[in-house]
Structure 1
Amino acid sequence: RNGLEALRRLQNVVRRVADQWRPASASEAYHIVRQRLFRTPDADALASIAATSRAFVALYHQHADEFPQESRAGGYEDRIKETYPIHPELFDRLYEDWSSLERFQRTRGVLRLMNEVIYALWVGQDHSPLIMPSSIPIATSRVNSELTQYLQDSWKAVIDADVDGPNSEPRRIDESKPLFGQRSVTQRLARTVFFGAAPTIGSAQKGLETQRVFLGTATPGDQPGNFHSALTALSDRATFFYSASGRYWYDLQANISRRAKDRAERVHVGEVYAEIAKRLEGQASTRGSFAGVHVCPDDGADIPDLPEARLVLLPPKVSHKRRSTDSGAIKFAQNATERRGTSNRKYRNMVVFLAGDEARMQELESSIRDYIGWSEILAHEDDLDLTGSQRKQAQERQQKASETSDARLLSAYQWALIPHGQPIEIETVKVEGQSDSLAERVSRRLGNDGALAVQHAGAAIRLQLDNSSASKLWAGGSLPLGQLWDLYAE
C-alpha cells in the first residue's frame, strides 16, 4: 500500500513538472506576447483596433481571389483583434513553420523574436497598421541575428543579396520602378517570402503559396495586382529566389534566372526577328476578308500582283510610330505598292499592310528574348546539371515567356497601312480588337471604315463610274465584268 501511494505522489510530481514545460499553444501565445510586450488597450484603442480589423477584412473581400478563403471568413476579423497589433499570419508562420525547427522554442523563441522586431520598428518609427511578415526588419542586426540563429550561416549572405538591406535586389527593383517604390512593394514581398519559406527548405513542400504571400504583405491602400509584377521582377533578377507551381521561396543554391537572363541579353537581334516571324506564320491560316495573308516579305517582289485583296504582315525590322510620315513601315509599304521587283505593280488597290508599333515591338522583342533564353537553358539541361526544381522552374518560365510573347505580338501589330491616290500616299489606321487573328481585326476595322469592301450595290458602282475618269467606258451602256474588276483593283 505504501508503495502504491508513493507511486501516485511521484506521478503527480512528474505530471506537474511536465505541465510546466509544455509549450504554449498559438492562442495562448497571442495573450503572452500582448501581456509581456504591450499595454492593455483602453476604450479609444479598442475602437481603433476594431477599425483596423474591419479595414483589413474589407481589403480581403475586395480582392477575394488574391487571398486565402479563411481571411474572408467571419471569424478572421476577430482573430485580427485578438492578435493586434500583430497580424495573425505572422503568428501562423511562427507556429506552423518556425516551430518545426529543432532549436526554435515556441514560447521563448516567439517572445525573443517579437521583442527584437517591435523594438526595431519602434526605433525606425514604423507606422504600419499591423506588424506583418512583410514589416519584419530582417536587415537590422539584432532581428537578423535572432532569425538566422535557427538557420545555416550561409543564409546571411542570401538575406543581404536578395531579401532585405540597403544593397539588396528587392530595394534596387523598388528604386527603379516608382509604382513599386512608393510602398516598397518588392521589399515587403521579399520579407514575407523569406519569413514564410525559409523554415520549409528541407521539407517536401517548400515555399509559400501566392495567396499566403499576399496575406502576409498587403495592407489597406495596396493594389494587390501590382504584387504579381513585383514577384515577376524579383524572379527575373534575384539570384536565390525561386518560384514554381504558384509557390515562392528562397534557397541557398543560386537559381538559373540570372543565367537565362544573361543568355537572353546575348541573343542576336536576327534570331529575335526569326522567332517573331515564326509566330507570325501562324497568322497566315486565318485570312478574314482577304484572299491571302503574306508574312514578312523581304520586299515587294515577294508580294503577288493579283486582282484580289491581300494583307501583308510586315517584318519586325520595320515598324511604325504614331504620326510619323517616314517610318520604316511606311517606306516599305510605299515601295511595295509602287513596284513588284523591277516591274511596276498593276493592282495597287489590292494590298494592305500591317506593321508593328515601335514601342510595342520593343516589349515584344524583350519577351521573345526571355523565351529564347529559357529555351536554351532547357536545351542544355544535362550540361547544366539542373535539379528537378530548376528544370520545373525553367519549363514554367519558358511557357510564361511564350504566352506573353503571343499576347504582345497581337497588341504590337496595330498599324494598318492603306495605299491610295496617285501618286501613292499611305494612310495609317490603328487596328485593335479581341480576335486572335490579325487578319480578322484588320478586316473588321477597314470594313467598318469603308476602306475594304466584299460587296457593292449596283447603284453605288454606277455612281462611282459616273464620277470617275472611267465614265467614258460606260458610254455604250455596258461594261465587261473583268474590266470593271480591274478598275477597282488598280
Structure 2
Amino acid sequence: MKAFHTIAIPHKDILEGRLTLEVFAADLHEVSLNKGSDEYRDSKIFFEKTYLTNGLQNLLSVVERRITGKGGDPVIQLQTPFGGGKTHSLIALYHKANEWKANKVVIVGEKIEATDSLWGLIEKQLTGKITKFKDKHAPGGEALKELLSAHQPLVILMDEVLQYITRAAAVKVEASNLAAQSIAFMQALTETISQIPNSVLLLSLPSSVPEHYDENAERLYHQLQKVSGRLEKIYTPVEDSEITKIIRRRLFASVDEKEAEKVVKSYVDYLEKENLLPNNVQPSEYRDQFLASYPFIPDVIDVLYKRWGTFPHFQRTRGVLRLLAQVIASLKTSTKSYITLADFDLSNQEIRQELLKHIESAFNGVIASDITDTNSGSAKVNTKLGNAYQGLSLGTRTATAIFMFSHSGGPIKGATVPEIKRSAAPLDIVSAVIDSVFDQLEQELFFIQKFNDKYFFSNMPNINKILLTYMENIKDADVEAYELELLKQKSKSQYFKVYIWEEKSNNVADDDNLKLVIIKNENRELIKEIIKKKGASLRTKSNTVFVLYPSDLDKGNFIHQIKRKLAYENILSAPNLNLSNDQKKDVKKELDKIDSNIFESLRKYYRLVAIPSKDDYKILDLGVPTYGDNKTLSDEVYEKLLAEKEILEKLSPNVIKVQFLKDNDYISTESIYTSCLTVPGFFRISSRRVLENAIEQGVREGLFGIGVLEGNSPICKHYKNGTTVYFDSNEIIIKDSICIEQLKKHEEIVTTEPSPKTDASEEITQKKGGTVGVNGHTQGTSYEQLSLNFEIPKGKVSSLMGLLNFLQSKYEHLQIDIKASDGKLTEEEYNTKIIEALRQGGVDLK
C-alpha cells in the first residue's frame, strides 16, 4: 500500500517544514488589526482552509439575515469547550462582515487593559475617538442606542469577556468597581441590540469556569451568564461529528479517495479477522468513520478530541490540529499507509512538549524511562521478541499507544487490549503477538498500570519500580541466608550423607557411606582436598565422595530470583506502601510464581559435580532440569550419577570375574569391597549389598566359587549353589576352574561330614523319637529347637558358614550370641566393620 502522505497530501507548509504553531493560534484581535498569519488575516486563504461546519454555516446565515433586516437573532452566545471553535467562528464572521459592508466592533478581553471600559472601546472603534463614554460608569440605554443606531449595519464581536471582567473587578469606581459596571453595561447592550434591526452581538463565553479562576471569577461568570442569557441564542459552531472534516481540510491539500478506500478496506478487514472492531460497531460503520478521518484511524481523533481535549487548556479543535500537524511532519518520509496512536513519536521533543503542557511534568521522566530512552523498558521488549518481529518496535508502539490512551481531563483513562492492538499491531502480523508484548511490558516498565483490564501510565511507580528499589536494598547476607536455607530444604537425601557449604575436609566422614559435599563456589583446591584428604591425613575412602558446586554462568539469574522473592516479601510487609488490593494480589501471584520456579533456578545454578577419578577428578554437568520434577537436589544428583554409571545399584558378576580373576586364582571379598571404597574411579556401588548380590549371583551361576584360604591354598566351599558373603579377611572368591577341579577330587565327600572337633556343649530340647550326640546320628528323630554353644578355632570361621546356612534353611529364627575376648577393637572398627556389616545385612543388634 502507498504511504499516507502520497494519498492524503499535506499542505505545503507542513511538508516543507515551515509550519509554526502560531498558525493554529487563532487571534481575533490580531486579525482586526490586520496582523498575524495569512491563515487567519487573509480572507481568501482563511476560507480555503476552513471547513464550513453546519453550525458555522447556520451562524453566518443568521447573522447575515439580522444585519440585512430579514430577521435573525440579535444576541448570540458561542459556547463550546475551550478550543471548540469559538474564536475561529468569530474570525469567519469578521471576514464576512467585510463582505456584507457592515461596521465591526472587536473586543477581545485578554487584549484590553483592566482600566479600559467596554463602552469607551465601542465608541472609539465606531467613531475613532472617545467623547461621550469617557466615564467609568456604564452609560444609559438611550445614549448607547443612539451610538449603535448611527452605525448600522453593525456586527459586535466580543471574545474572552470573562477574562476582562475578572481583572476589572480590581478597578474601583466610587463605591462600585469596573466589573460591576461592565456587567450592568452588558445587560444594557443586549437589550439595546435587540431593539435596533440591523445590529447583532456575538459573545463567546466558556462552557464552564476555567479551573484556575477563583470564587470571585466564578461569581462574575454566573452574573454574566444571567445577564446575557436573557435575550441570547446559544450556538455551537462545531459538532463532534464534524471534527474529522475540519482536520482534513486544515491539514491536507487533497486526498485521493480511491487510494484511501484501499487502505481503509485492508485495515477494516484486518480488524474484522482479528476480532478487534469496537464493540457494537459494524464493519461498514467503522469503514465510514475511517474514510472520514483518513489518514488517521478513528481512535486517534477520538482520543485527542474526547480525552486530551477535556484538559482545560488543550483548546480542543486548535489543540488537535496543532498536535496532528506535528505528527504529520514527523512522518512525512515514512512508508506508513495510515496513522495510529502508536505512530506518535514521543522522542520528538515538539510532540512530547505539546503533550506535556497538559499533564504533570513528571511524565517527562516516565516517557524517557519506559518508552523513548535507548535502554528503556520498551526498547528491551523490542529486542526480546523473536527474529520475525525485529525492527517492528512492537514494545515501543504498544507503550506509546497506551500512553496516548492514558490521559484526559475527566475520569476516562486507559485502554483495553483490543483498543491498543488497533493502534500497535501492523497488518502483516497476527495481533496475538501483542499479547506477549503486554506480558513483557508489565515486567519491564516502571510506570505502566493495569486496572479493570485497562492499561495506562501513571506518574507513580508500579510494582516493578517498587520491586527494583527494594531489590537494590537486599543485602548480600540476606541472599546467602536464603540460599543456605533453600539448600537445606532441597538437599535431603536417602542416598547420601550431605554436607552443605563445608569448607573443612576434616568435617567430612571417611566411612563406607556415599557422601555429597556441596560447596559455595567453584574452588579446585578445596574440591581436591575434600576428595583426597581428611584434615591432615589422607582420605582412605575417597571413592565415596562427590562434590557439588554452582555454575558461574547461572549465578546472576539465581541471585536475581532470590532478590525478587525477598523484595516481594518485604513489599507485602512494608507498612507505608499503601498497596491496592489488586497490587497485593499481583505481588502474591508473583511470589507464588517464584516459589514454584525457585528450585529450578537452584538446580540450574548447582549443576556441576566433581567425581573422583584415577588422576584427579572429573566434572559431570547435570544439564537442564526437567520441568515439574519434584526430586530433591541430592536425589537428582544421585539419579544422574546412576544414569551415567558413576554409581551402580547392580553389578554384573562378569565384571568381578574379569576385573579380579583374569590374572589371579583368587582374591578376598574384603579386598574387592575395599577397592570399591578407596580406589578413585573404580566401580562405585551404592551399598555393600550390591557387591554381595553380584558375588552370590556369580557363585550360583558358576562364574567363580567362594571359599576360604587355608595356608596359601584356596579351598572352594560353594560353587553353583547358594551362599552368603561376609567380607571376612579369610573369605575369597576362586576361579571356577579351581573349584571344578576340587569338586572332581572330592566327588565322594558327604556334605554331612562331621565338623572339626571343638570343645562344645549342646542342649537339645523338645526332641521327638530318639536321642542324639554330637558325633552320632539318630534316625527318625526331629528337633523343634536347638541351642549350641562352642568356641571357634582361629581361622575356621568361614568353614562354619555352610552350617549356618543349613540351620537357617531349617529354622524360621536363628539367633547368634558372639563373645570375643583376648584382643582389642577400635571404636571406628566397631562402627565400620561390625555395626555397618549388620546394618548392610539388615540385622538388628539386640
Residue 35 to residue 432, structure 1, CA distance change in 2 (3 Å): same
| 1:336 maps to 2:530 | yes
- 1:455-482 residue CA offsets vs partner (Å, 9 max, x unmatched): 2344444444436999622687258355
Q: Which of residues 612, 615, 626 is equivalent to 1:419?
A: 612
Q: Which of residues 636, 642, 647 is equivalent to 1:447?
A: 642
Please give the alpha-carbon distance, in whole angstroms, between the structure 1 residues aligned to 2:444 and 2:726.
61
**For residue 23 of structure 1, what is the aligned residue in structure 2?**
240
**For residue 725 of structure 2, what is the aligned residue in structure 1?**
480
CA contact (8 A) 1:196 1:208 kept: yes
Q: How does 1:79-478 map to 2 (within 5 A)?
A: 83=290, 85-87=295-297, 90=300, 98=307, 101=310, 108=317, 112=321, 115-116=324-325, 118-123=327-332, 125-128=333-336, 130-140=338-348, 143-144=351-352, 147-148=355-356, 151-154=358-361, 156-158=363-365, 161-162=368-369, 169=376, 182-199=391-408, 207-208=414-415, 213=420, 216-219=423-426, 220=428, 224=434, 225=436, 228-235=439-446, 240-242=447-449, 248-254=455-461, 258=465, 260-285=467-492, 287=493, 290-291=495-496, 293-312=498-517, 314-315=518-519, 317-319=520-522, 328=523, 330-379=524-573, 381-382=574-575, 384-388=576-580, 392=584, 405-421=598-614, 423-434=615-626, 435-437=629-631, 438-466=633-661, 472-473=667-668, 477-478=706-707
Please give the alpha-carbon distance, in whole angstroms, between the structure 2 residues aligned to 1:348 and 1:294.
15
CA contact (8 A) 2:243 2:317 kept: no
- 1:134-156 residue CA offsets vs partner (Å, 9 max, x unmatched): 2212354554465456x444355
- C-alpha deviation, 1:57, in angstroms: 7.7
One-letter code of the match for 1:196? F
Residue 355 to residue 163, structure 1, CA distance change in 2 (3 Å): closer
Q: Secondary structure at the match of 1:198?
A: coil
Higher gyration radius (CA): 2
CA contact (8 A) 1:416 1:429 kept: yes
One-letter code of the match for 1:425? Y
CA contact (8 A) 1:170 1:190 kept: no
One-letter code of the match for 1:98? R
Please give the alpha-carbon distance, in whole angstroms, between the structure 2 residues aligned to 1:290 and 1:45.
74
- C-alpha deviation, 1:92, in angstroms: 6.9
Report the identity percentage: 14
Please give the alpha-carbon distance, in whole angstroms, between the structure 1 residues aligned to 2:350 and 2:395.
22
Unpaired segments of 5 or more residues in structure 2? 1-232, 670-703, 708-723, 733-831, 834-839, 841-846
- C-alpha deviation, 1:360, in angstroms: 0.8
**For residue 11 of structure 1, what is the aligned residue in structure 2?**
none
Please give the alpha-carbon distance, in whole angstroms, between the structure 2 residues aligned to 1:283 and 1:470.
48
One-letter code of the match for 2:481? A
Residue 202 to residue 252, structure 1, CA distance change in 2 (3 Å): farther
Residue 81 to residue 186, structure 1, CA distance change in 2 (3 Å): same
CA contact (8 A) 1:161 1:168 kept: no
- C-alpha deviation, 1:361, in angstroms: 0.9
Q: Secondary structure at the match of 1:371?
A: helix
- C-alpha deviation, 1:191, in angstroms: 1.6
Residue 171 to residue 455, structure 1, CA distance change in 2 (3 Å): closer
Please give the alpha-carbon distance, in whole angstroms, between the structure 1 residues aligned to 2:653 and 2:485.
43
Q: Secondary structure at the match of 1:349?
A: helix
- C-alpha deviation, 1:377, in angstroms: 3.8
**For residue 68 of structure 2, what is the aligned residue in structure 1?**
none
Please give the alpha-carbon distance, in whole angstroms, between the structure 2 residues aligned to 1:460 and 1:89.
78
Please give the alpha-carbon distance, in whole angstroms, between the structure 2 residues aligned to 1:129 and 1:463.
80
**For residue 66 of structure 1, what is the aligned residue in structure 2?**
none
- C-alpha deviation, 1:170, in angstroms: 5.0
One-letter code of the match for 1:297? E
- C-alpha deviation, 1:388, in angstroms: 2.8
- C-alpha deviation, 1:318, in angstroms: 0.4
Residue 188 to residue 45, structure 1, CA distance change in 2 (3 Å): closer
Residue 226 to residue 388, structure 1, CA distance change in 2 (3 Å): closer
Q: More helix per residue: 1 or 2? A: 1
- C-alpha deviation, 1:358, in angstroms: 0.7
- C-alpha deviation, 1:425, in angstroms: 2.0
- C-alpha deviation, 1:362, in angstroms: 1.8
TM-score, scaled relative to structure 1: 0.67
CA contact (8 A) 2:497 2:515 kept: yes
CA contact (8 A) 1:120 1:137 kept: no
Task: Tell me the number of residue pairs that the alignment of Structure 1 and Structure 2 aligns.
Answer: 435
- C-alpha deviation, 1:396, in angstroms: 5.6
- 1:278-311 residue CA offsets vs partner (Å, 9 max, x unmatched): 22223134x4x83455443344445444434344
Query: Taking CA–CA contacts closer than 8 Å with sequence separation of 6 or more, which of the two structures ends up with the larger relative contact order?
Result: 1
- 1:363-392 residue CA offsets vs partner (Å, 9 max, x unmatched): 21123233333433444x22x453437963
Please give the alpha-carbon distance, in whole angstroms, between the structure 1 residues aligned to 2:345 and 2:567.
35
TM-score, scaled relative to structure 2: 0.42
Q: Secondary structure at the match of 2:608?
A: strand
Residue 201 to residue 176, structure 1, CA distance change in 2 (3 Å): farther
Please give the alpha-carbon distance, in whole angstroms, between the structure 2 residues aligned to 1:144 and 1:193.
15
Unpaired segments of 5 or more residues in structure 1? 1-15, 61-68, 320-327
CA contact (8 A) 1:207 1:249 kept: yes
Residue 305 to residue 110, structure 1, CA distance change in 2 (3 Å): farther
Residue 105 to residue 311, structure 1, CA distance change in 2 (3 Å): same
Please give the alpha-carbon distance, in whole angstroms, between the structure 1 residues aligned to 2:503 and 2:338.
61
- 1:385-404 residue CA offsets vs partner (Å, 9 max, x unmatched): 53437963665665566566
- 1:99-151 residue CA offsets vs partner (Å, 9 max, x unmatched): 7946599994895377335423334x3334542332212354554465456x4
One-letter code of the match for 2:307? W
Q: More strand per residue: 1 or 2? A: 2
Residue 282 to residue 116, structure 1, CA distance change in 2 (3 Å): farther
